[in-house]
Every structure is written in C-alpha cells, then in structure tokens.
Amino acid sequence: MRGRLGAGGMGEVFLGRSPGGRSVAVKVVYPHLAGQREFRARFAAEVAAAEAVGGAFTAPVVASGPEDDPPWIATAYIPGPNLAEAVAEAGPLPERSVWGLAAGLVEALQAIHARGLLHRDLKPANVMLAADGPRVIDFGIARTLEVTSVTRTGMVVGTAGFMPPEQAQGGQVGPAADVFSLGVVLAFAASGSEPFGQGQPLAILHRVVNDDPRLDALDGPLRDLVAACLAKSPDERPTLPQLLDRITVHWDPPDGASGTSPWPVGVTTLIEHRVDAPTASYTQASDSTHDAPTATADTTEKELSRRFEDALHGASRPADAVELFEQAVANHAHVLGPDHPATLLRRHEEAQNLGLVGVRAEAAELFAGVAADRARVLGPDHPDTLCSRHHHALYLSGGTKNLKAARLMAGVAADQARVLGPDHPDTLCSRRNRALYLGQGGRFLKAARLMAGVAADQARVLGPDHPDTWRSHHDHARFLSRSRRLRW
C-alpha cells in the first residue's frame, strides 16, 4: 500500500502496487459492513460483475478477495478526477470533449451489456477521466439483464436524477435504462447542471417521470442526441450501436501516438496533479466528492452530525436515507473510530432506518452487532446497550422467529427491571412485547397470563385509561380467548 485515495459508503480506497509494479486502487470494505451476510453477497456480486467486464473504457480487476476479512477488490488505478470533480473545478466540458466522452461511455456500456449486465448507476462520480479517455467504474448495483431494479424488498436502487422513469418507479429495466443515465451524464458534462434539477429525492424522481429535461445549455446535434437518450419510454431511446453511429459523425478520436488529449486544458491539469500526488496520508481523508462527501481528519463530532442532518433533511422517506446512513457510519468510523459512542449511535440509527423501510431481517442483524459492540464498549448494563438489545428482539420477531424474539425480549426486560427499575416505561414495553411475541408464536395461555400482569402494572403506573393499558387489556382478552378455543 502506498497511500489513501479516499473513502465512500462501502469502505476506504488505497493506492497499492502489484508484485509486478502496477499501480492499483484497492477498495477495502469497512468491518461493520463485512460482518453483514447480505452486504457480503452484494459485494461478491460487484466483484463478479467487475471481473466479467472488459474493454478499453472500464477499470479492469487486477485481484480480489470477496471472502476475505475484510473483503477487498483491486482495480487498475486511474490517475484522474471523476467527472463531477472535473466539472466542479474546471467547468463544463466543451462540445468536442463531450462527444469524446459520449463515445467512450457508449463503448464501456457495450462491454458491460455484452456480459449480460446492466450498470444501473451511471453518474458523474462513476466516470473517471483518464488522460486518454473516460473509464466507467463501480459496479456496486450492477445486475443481470433478467432481473428488476429492486435489491432490497420494495426498494429502488440508483441515484435520483440519473435513473430512468422505469427504474424510478421500481419496474423492470433493460439496456435502455443505462442509455437514459448516459443522457443525463452528458447533459451534466456539457452544462454543469443536472437536467432534472436538484432537491429532495422524491421531487427529483417526480420530475424524471413527468417533466421534460432542461437542456437549454445544449444545442444542435448534441442536444438532439441527449434528448433522444432521455425519452420517457425505453422503447423510444436509441440503442448503443445507433448512438455510436451518431457520435462518430462528430467525433474523430485523436491519434494515441500523438499524445493529444480529448479533454480541455483545465481537466488535463487536474489529471497531471493526480499523477504527481495521487494520495493522502493514511490518517488523512480525501476531499469531498460530488455524490458522497467524506469527512476530513479534523472534523469534529458536532460537524459530522451537522453534515449528516443537512443531508438527511433532503430525504423525504426512510428508503431515500439508506445510503445516507451508510455514509454517515463510514464517516464517523473513519474520523472518530469504530468504537466511539457517536459511531455506535449512527449504526443503531442505520439499523432502525432499515427496519422502517421494511428490511427487518437485515435490521435485526445490524442491531445484534451494535448491541454486542455497545456491551463491549459501554458495558452490558448501559441504557444504550439495552436499547439495541430491545430493537434486536423487536425486528427479529415475525414468522417463525416469534418465540426466539420472546426469549430475547425476556432477557432484556429482566435486565431493564434491574438497571432502570420495574416501573420504567422501557421495562414495561419489553414485558409487553415478550407477551405479544409468545401469543404470536402460539403460546396463547402463557401470553395471556403475562399480558394480564403487564396490563395491571401499566394501570398502576400509567393509569387505567392510558392507551397502552387498554391495548394490553385487549391483547390479554384476545390471547385468553384463543387459548380457550384450543382447549375446546
């Protein structure tokens, strides 16, 4: 390893050198993600997708260890900025460079589609600008052509503003989806702004589905090509071969031997700087990127929280916030350390958000990990530890796991009674949940007996007319009735 290149939602990226002296970018997964079975499966799929794809305009895989601890993947190092960084620092690309960008991206997508894959997240941060042309990177959500755009139950993956209407609506996607994303990327490169604007993700997706793109900064054949890519119906978008035919009319690639770059001077200067000084020290984080800013080493806990809250404000529903929570956990772990209480809190909140989205199994797994780490760092009797244990049992419940959840909740309730007191609201809540899970697991008589005790204590502590007391009385009667029916 020679230095640190940056960090993202999955892990940190380092500049390394192969035994033969080749420079490589090594992505190393964060430990808290490496412990999740579902994430490991997703990462292994990314590695398989990246290894399957070749071509001059992608970053080839040099080596990988998806089963290692932690998992990692090494790709050829591309000394240059991504498109978002280039536009931010050097301004929109001139038309000639946009045609060259389009040609390279189409060839990259052809290589991806030739392997039966879709990229599904083509955006400026995933387009690197090398001296001789663009490179498409990050196959984190690439999928085979036969599957839909949903990876977690009910959740659409992708980046708002760059995904096509069919993907935004959670429908079936095909090669035309990547063509739409290509059109958005080209519009951004030529104008410096996204054609469907910015703002809250839901508002952007609404414009993607219903509004015409804003292409005021484009004209002539380039505007016509981008507009064709952004057709609402996938059937109306041009195919990649059709696009290449239209592009080559306006793009004569420079002779590689001449050393001529397809980019303007401002971008070539950025590339030269990356070649000369590509890395930061191991203890220093990289600069912010267009899509997922990483934290710097001197960032305080308060500043991290402020950044996260500002980003979260733009997410109008839990599903929109999944990647934000992953990024927040990564930033906190890097700056404050994985065992810092604030990092553990963000992990707890990440699991809670997944539970709200409906991904209960993964939420339960995350809560189990947070509870174990909080017990180790804060102590087994710390209220935060008890809270994570409670949520672990809560999201484990359902289906065949109710009785196991009831056993876990019984342990939580006992410890809460000892630490917080038998009349504490959290203790009463855990006792009620234990009885509820027993009833849902078919243990009606025991559930009725426990629920009667909970109702009596709630009436004493909260009052006989409190809604929680009434709910417990209702569940007591329901479980008692079910137990009698079984005996008859």
Q: Which of 121, 138, 373, 384 is catalytic?
A: 121
Predicted confidence at residue 176, as pLDDT, reads 96
**Res. 284 pLDDT band, cuts 50 70 90:** very low
Is 121 catalytic? The answer is yes
Is residue 135 classed as helix, strand or coil in its secondary structure?
strand
Give the single-character DSSP code of 211: S
Nearest to 138 by CA among 112, 161, 173: 112
Checking if the pLDDT of 256 tops 60, the result is no
Domain ranges of the chain: 3-77, 83-264, 301-487
Predicted confidence at residue 277, as pLDDT, reads 47
Checking if the pLDDT of 230 tops 50, the result is yes
Mean pLDDT of 412-427: 93
Nearest to 370 by CA among 350, 395, 399, 355: 350
401 to each of 35, 120, 152, 360, how far by Cα in Å? 21, 35, 20, 12
pLDDT averaged over every residue in the chain: 83
- Domain 301-487 matching CATH 3.40.50.720: the answer reads no
Checking if the pLDDT of 60 tops 70, the result is yes
Predicted confidence at residue 402, as pLDDT, reads 92
1 to each of 136, 290, 469, how far by Cα in Å? 23, 26, 61
Q: Give 194's contacts (C-beta < 8 A, 6+ positions apart).
A: 161, 162, 184, 187, 188
Mean pLDDT of 374-398: 91
pTM of the complete model? 0.57
| Weakest mean pLDDT among 44-48, 192-196, 428-432, 462-466 | 44-48
Q: For the chain, what percent of residues have pLDDT higher than 90?
A: 44
Written as six digits, the tokens of 285 are: 């984080």
Q: Are 364 and 392 in contact (CB under 8 A)?
A: yes
Written as six digits, the tokens of 250 are: 């306006």
Checking if the pLDDT of 428 tops 90, the result is yes
**Res. 155 pLDDT band, cuts 50 70 90:** very low
Q: Which residue has the tokens 């599957």?
A: 147
Predicted confidence at residue 180, as pLDDT, reads 97
Checking if the pLDDT of 142 tops 50, the result is no
Predicted confidence at residue 13, as pLDDT, reads 82
Residue 402 carries which side chain, given as an amino acid letter?
N
Span 69-97, pLDDT tens digits: 889 988 888 888 889 889 988 899 999 99
Of residues 296 and 224, which shows the higher confidence score? 224
Predicted confidence at residue 400, as pLDDT, reads 82
CA–CA separation, 295 vs 331, rounded Å? Answer: 6
Nearest to 120 by CA among 55, 52, 171: 171
Span 322-366, pLDDT tens digits: 778 888 888 788 777 788 888 899 999 999 888 888 888 888 999
83-264 CATH choice from 3.90.1150.10, 1.10.2020.10, 2.60.40.420, 1.10.510.10: 1.10.510.10
Checking if the pLDDT of 16 tops 60, the result is yes
Predicted confidence at residue 325, as pLDDT, reads 84
Of residues 470 and 278, which shows the higher confidence score? 470
**Res. 426 pLDDT band, cuts 50 70 90:** very high
Class of the CATH-defined domain 3-77: alpha beta
Span 293-322, pLDDT tens digits: 333 333 466 777 777 777 777 665 666 677
232 has binding-site annotation: no
